[in-house]
Structure 1
């Protein structure tokens, strides 16, 4: 009897010492994973080359080499938070030069005038969702023979533009007023992106320009041509259309070759450039390539 009582006592103690499991065990809490660090500075650097520098319908020269920086600074969050859209400050710095000084304007198109241009731009852009609107300012610093003896002034512009999408077609337009040279330039741009692979796209595009008192920043009685004598063009300038082929080299770098044709209209065709050179305002097939890297 004493043995049985002892065994019962030991069994009771062993049962009391056994942990009670009531249903499935509680899951172990996952360790907190730190969010990935966003090392994107929102800045894109680019290097490019164009066989011709066509600016607002005017073929200024051959072999344009350029570099640039651009970025965007978010100012007000929106769309995902309250549906009110978002606001950002977009900025860019661009510099280009005619390699080999092959201009199409100086002294009737002699082809030996140097030209360099520095551009500084900034714009406030608000994205409403269906469309975005921007208000901007741009400074042009023109250098070289065209910017000196050629009688080309510097320029300062204010602009108002918008961008939207109609199905697969991206549309944008802007009105630009150069208050230093007292002229207006308006444009309408259309493009569409056609994906070929995950890394390659085809982007056909077209631009139509119109100028009011257009002078392309050249002063009256300029030395560019003995017959230029700025005549304050108010007419359609040109249609420029082409195809871009963006190629993603990796997650940050993109190589974009393109080919295009510039078709001058009355505003450019009627410029009083010396008859010895038609290069500046003839239809021209041109192309180029841009390497851009996001940081």
Structure 2
């Protein structure tokens, strides 16, 4: 009897205590999953093709194949909801090459003095490394950075120009470029305006640009981005050696116009185009584009016809790098 009484007492106590123990800590029938961790590394990889490689108003050649990596590392978070006050480190690594070596500088000389010929095509590759500190003030963002551009291939080392027996024909090619860049960007309604000032520490000379673009949403996945850019040079030489600048200047192997020998000064080119970014998924975007490049001022004055000689008695100028050109391309970018 005592045992039964004891068991009944324990059972009563257990029932009485159950609500107090299970109430506050009882499992929820449908628990809410925690938000996923942000696994975005802030890195974007890209592959692209351009029918012409146009850089700062100069058409270097046809069939440009490129790859790149770029990223942003947040150094200081902004206090405002729109990120204003934040400071980031921006970086990029880009590489490109002329597929088929179809450059727009090399002339097609045959029977040059001393024998031999100059090929009408030359290889060209470019590696660019850059880093910048960007600060967002809300209405305006500022950046200050440095980039190193390494030019390679026959176009960069002079190719056939330096291998033929023509008086004064040495020293052609391109130098590497080391530049400091100060940039600013702001939004005027739907239009994004940006501008930069670039000084070449190795070759000297300034290059300025101003750009505008806007994004027009067609669907949730497709947009149209019209854009325009205008360049201005001050003793700008794009890394070309003195010999190449003399040659481009139109004075043959002996000289060239002083405007080109000393670098380009004035408005360089107007570039306009349409991008058509297509969002494939949350991380990948395919972007076809079409564009038009119109050389201006000193660039247009440097343009040649296919029959204009590079030097007296040596006709056969190249498909010039300073003619107007319509071109197109496509790139695939993936964010990690």
- TM superposition score normalised by structure 1: 0.86
**2:153 is matched with which residue?**
144
> Superposed, which structure 2 residues align to 1:2-151 within 5 Å?
33-80=33-80, 85-107=85-107, 111-149=120-158, 150-151=172-173
Equivalent residues of 1:227, 1:273 under 8 A apart: no
Given candidates 242, 247, 261, the residue that maps to 2:273 is 242
Map Cα deviations across residues 120-145 of structure 1 (whole Å, 9 max, x no partner). Answer: 00000001111110001000000001
Aligned mates of 1:65, 1:145 — CA distance in 2: 17
CA distance in 2 between counterparts of 1:249 and 1:100 reads 30
Where does residue 240 of structure 2 map in the other structure?
Answer: 218
Q: What's the secondary structure of 2:244's corresponding residue?
A: coil
Instruction: Please identify, of 217-226 and 280-289, the stretch whose mean Cα deviation from structure 2 is larger.
Output: 217-226
- Match of 1:107, SS state, is coil
- The answer to which structure has the higher helix fraction is 2
Q: Is the 8 A contact 2:173 2:244 kept in 1?
A: yes
- Structure 1 residue ranges without an equivalent (≥5): 1-12
Question: In 2 relative to 1, CA 264–253 (structure 1 residues): closer, same or farther, beyond 3 Å?
Answer: same
Tell me the number of residue pairs that the alignment of Structure 1 and Structure 2 aligns. Answer: 278
In the alignment, structure 2 segments of 5+ residues that lack a partner are 1-8, 110-118, 159-171, 251-255, 309-316
The residue number in structure 1 matching 2:331 is: 290
Q: CA RMSD in A?
A: 2.7
> Higher mean Cα deviation, 37-46 or 168-177?
37-46
SS of match in other structure, 2:187: strand
Given that 1:49 and 1:65 are in contact with CA atoms closer than 8 Å, whether structure 2 keeps it comes out as yes
Alpha-carbon distance between aligned partners in 2 of 1:87 and 1:33, rounded to the nearest angstrom: 32
The answer to whether the 8 Å contact 2:178/2:201 transfers is yes
1:187 matched to 2:209? The reply is yes
In 2, Cα distance between equivalents of 1:206 and 1:62: 22
Which residue of 176, 180, 184 corresponds with 1:154?
176
Change in CA separation of 1:32 and 1:272 when aligned onto 2, cut-off 3 Å: closer
| Deviation sequence 1:19-53 (CA, Å, 0-9, x none) | 699xxx87967568444122211110000000001
Helix, strand or coil at the partner of 1:241: strand
The answer (yes or no) to whether the contact 1:227–1:272 under 8 Å persists in 2 is no
Shift of 1:224: 8.9
Q: CA deviation at 1:194?
A: 0.2
1:263 matched residue in structure 2: 294
Shift of 1:216: 1.2
Q: Name the structure where strand makes up a greater proportion of residues.
A: 1
1:214-261 alpha-carbon deviations (Å, 9 max, x no partner): 111101112894756542111000000000000000111000000000
**How far, CA to CA, are the matches of 2:321 and 2:335 in structure 1?**
35
Q: Check the 8 A contact 2:303/2:320 in 1, yes or no.
A: no
* Residue number in structure 2 paired with 1:173: 195
Q: Quick check: 139-148 or 216-225, which moved more?
A: 216-225
Q: TM-score w.r.t. structure 2 length?
A: 0.76
